[in-house]
Amino acid sequence: MVRRRRTSSEVPASQLDNEDILWEILLRLPSQPSSLLRASAVCKRWRRLVTDLQFLGHFRAHHRTPPLLGAFVCRRRGMATEFAPILGPPDRIPPERFDLRSCSKWPADRHVLDCRHGRVLVKDNLKHEVVVCDPVTGEQCRVSIPPEFKNTRAHIHGAVLCAAADHDHVHGSCHSTSFKVALLSIYRLDRRPVACVYSSETDTWGNLITVVEPCEPHGFLIPVTLIGNVLYWSILEFDFDRQSLAMIKGPSGINKLHRSHIIIKTEDGGVGLAVLSAPRVHIWQRKVNCEGVSTWLLQKTIEMNKILRISPRIKRSMGRLLGYDEDTDEICLYIYGSVYMVQLKSMQYRKLYKTNYYTNYYPFKSFYVPGDLSSLVLIVHIGV
């Protein structure tokens, strides 16, 4: 009889009988949707463990950052925003699983404003409401937009954030936690920016927050960037803690560029700016001195044609910035009929899809596991 020698990476069966050791092993499985589902199919004991609420809490705390499941995009003019999965089988989530049609009857009346902390913020133009929806659980919360926003001349923009006060809370499975919604627009007559915050804890909107200085809505179609507790829409800065709204000045000539710049987070957690001047992307960093005066310093210039292996002869009109992911420090850009994600530190990229219509890119991240949704076993194929 030939005995098979056990390698050092194999775990003895006797150790798997130990509940604590099994717990630690399963805790280190990848955070992709199929990982715990496959483990739950091994036996009843494993399934009981991976669907335990305490285990799932530790599982999320161990990984900290939820996986990127896909993004909400609009690929054709006049079409509805839909979920575009990024992961391959068996982790791929079907687009119809995260359908937003229940937020508004007609596609033209349904406009995605933000996607963050496992929730999607949708504006229902017909009912003049915003809808905070959780695609994983299907839960929705409808909130009427303050009547003052009917007198604004620009599009209404918004952001949704988890309001959990727990210090050890992990974003990405905020299904039952409270949330806040921030809306922003510009008054029709005097062009003053206006913002307002809704709290699900009190079910009320706060006071209107404005600034005296008028502004033009250049670049406001770009999705919001969150750095700390501060939201950035192009040149507008909204501080959640101070409940203050302010205008910031970018490098000379930047503020008038349309869809060519977006606020990003620097390596030290500060405020940066990515400016697309196809085929190049210029990265700026804002420095604030002891007197509160800010200046912009050019950090680097990225030759995107070399990174993406495309022709350097690109007209400025053929490139657009579509979004930014603060967690992964990735920009989403449209160049020459294709949409790319580029990691600004490693310069690694992936080509998402081809399109002749560019639109905003809203990445969706969530811990999508059987303990959160028992029906997951019905929509994810387990290969043998």
Q: Which domain holds residue 212?
A: 100-248
Side chain identity at residue 137, one-letter code = T
Q: What is the pLDDT of residues 127-153, one digit of tens each?
A: 889 999 999 888 999 999 998 887 666
Distances 236 to 80, 266, 352 between C-alpha atoms, Å? 28, 18, 29
Cis peptide, bond prior to residue 370, ω within 30 of zero: no
Same domain, 149 and 175: yes
Same domain, 152 and 177: yes
Q: In what helix (H) or strand (E) does residue 62 lie, and over which residues does it extend?
A: helix 53-63
Same domain, 241 and 275: no
- Are 324 and 232 within 8 A, CB to CB? no
In a domain, 87, yes or no: no
Mean pLDDT of 237-266: 82
Same domain, 56 and 129: no
- Are 285 and 268 within 8 A, CB to CB? no
Direct distance between the N- and C-terminal alpha carbons of the chain, in angstroms, rounded to an integer: 29
In a domain, 82, yes or no: no
Domain boundary among 248, 279, 300: 248
Same domain, 126 and 207: yes
Q: What is the pLDDT of residues 170-193, one digit of tens each?
A: 676 666 678 999 999 888 777 888
Closest C-alpha to 284, from 275, 45, 306:
275
* Span of 15-19, 223-227, 254-258, 356-360 with lowest mean pLDDT: 254-258
In a domain, 383, yes or no: no
- Are 111 and 158 within 8 A, CB to CB? no
Task: Check whether 381 has a pLDDT greater than 50.
Answer: no
Average pLDDT, the chain: 82
In a domain, 86, yes or no: no
Same domain, 28 and 48: yes
Same domain, 257 and 239: no
Same domain, 228 and 265: no
Same domain, 224 and 298: no
Q: Which residue has the tokens 């387990």?
A: 382
Same domain, 244 and 271: no
| pLDDT at site 17 | 64
Side chain identity at residue 52, one-letter code = D
Task: Check whether 243 has a pLDDT greater than 70.
Answer: yes
| pLDDT at site 15 | 55
In a domain, 160, yes or no: yes
**Cβ neighbours of residue 242 closer than 8 Å, sequence gap 6 or more:** none
Alpha-carbon torsion (145, 148, 151, 157), positive or negative: negative
3-class DSSP state for residue 61? Answer: helix
Same domain, 138 and 243: yes
Domain boundary among 222, 248, 274: 248
| pLDDT at site 377 | 39
In a domain, 79, yes or no: no
Distances 238 to 25, 121, 235, 296 between C-alpha atoms, Å? 43, 18, 10, 19
Longest dimension (CA), the chain: 90
Rounded CA separation 220/213 (Å): 17
Mean pLDDT of 209-223: 74
Tokens representing 88? 């391959």
Q: What b/e string do you get for 336-356 counting C-beta neighbours within 10 Å, with b at 16 or more?
A: beebbbbebeeeebeebeeee
| pLDDT at site 317 | 64
In a domain, 381, yes or no: no
In a domain, 268, yes or no: yes
- Are 265 and 298 within 8 A, CB to CB? no
Domain count across the chain: 3
Write down how long the chain is: 384
pTM over 0.75: yes
Mean pLDDT of 267-293: 88
Same domain, 232 and 127: yes
3-state helix vs strand vs coil in the chain, percent to 5: 15, 35, 50
Q: What is the pLDDT of residues 39-92, one digit of tens each?
A: 888 888 888 888 888 888 888 888 888 889 999 987 666 667 889 898 888 888
